[in-house]
């Protein structure tokens, strides 16, 4: 296995803007790092469950990917459009933001199960870099833990960014929300176009 290629692929796929990272940054900006970390923890757990599933069911899923990917693309794109609207209309003093109802642990975990990027990432990274070289239960679990750790680290870094630039982002809240909504819209469109 080419460790360098594996790491490059993993870090590019997890740290680039996507629903996990954008929602983590928005949550940190509006609710603070503590509530954002709840969301990120849900992302990490969901990521781990999906990586384990991709590890053990990779060959079986590979034969039915077109059907699964199409469904996930539609559902994921619709959910991202919902997130676009939520981000676009959100304000720092929204009642929902104060209570943290919409962007907590379960929201972060749920996002993983309807995010086609995570499934496609899991299938490709496991099929390309792990399964050809490692077959034991322990190695599959360790790779899944590593991938989930990176999947947790990426939104945490984006959350820190949201906290560090809170004053700036609050001052330009409307522009920030529009930019983040457009990035989410682009993510949804890209997933739909690829699907």
Longest CA span, the chain: 52
CB within 8 A of 28, min separation 6: which ones? Answer: 35, 36, 158, 159, 160, 161, 162, 163, 166
CB within 8 A of 125, min separation 6: which ones? Answer: 6, 9, 10, 13, 54, 147
* Residue 96 confidence (pLDDT): 42
Q: What is the pLDDT of residues 129-161, one digit of tens each?
A: 887 788 788 988 999 999 999 999 999 998 998
Per-domain boundaries in the chain? 3-7+20-194
Q: What sign results for the dihedral spanned by CA atoms 149, 183, 85, 73?
A: negative
**pTM of the predicted model as reported, rounded to 2 decimal places:** 0.69
Rounded to an integer, the average pLDDT of 80-97 is 62
Residue 132 or residue 104, greater confidence? 104
Q: How sure is the predictor about 95, in pLDDT bands with cuts at 50, 70 and 90?
A: very low
Residue 40 or residue 176, greater confidence? 40
């Amino acid at each position: 296995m080419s460790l360098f290629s594996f790491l490059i692929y993993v870090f590019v796929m997890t740290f680039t803007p996507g629903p996990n990272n954008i929602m983590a940054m928005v949550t940190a900006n509006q609710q603070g790092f503590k509530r954002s970390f709840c969301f990120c923890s849900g992302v990490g757990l969901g990521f781990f469950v999906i990586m384990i599933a991709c590890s053990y069911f990779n060959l079986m899923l590979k034969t039915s990917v077109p059907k699964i990917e199409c469904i996930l693309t539609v559902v994921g794109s619709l959910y991202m459009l919902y997130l676009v609207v939520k981000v676009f209309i959100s304000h720092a003093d929204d009642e929902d933001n104060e209570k943290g109802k919409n962007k907590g642990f379960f929201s972060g975990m749920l996002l993983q199960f309807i995010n086609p990027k995570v499934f496609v990432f899991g299938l490709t990274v496991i099929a390309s870099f792990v399964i050809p070289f490692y077959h034991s239960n322990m190695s599959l679990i360790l790779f899944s833990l590593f991938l989930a750790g990176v999947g947790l680290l990426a939104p945490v870094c984006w959350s820190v960014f949201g906290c560090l630039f809170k004053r700036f982002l609050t001052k330009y809240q409307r522009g920030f929300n529009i930019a983040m909504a457009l990035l989410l819209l682009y993510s949804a469109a890209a997933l739909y176009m690829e699907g």
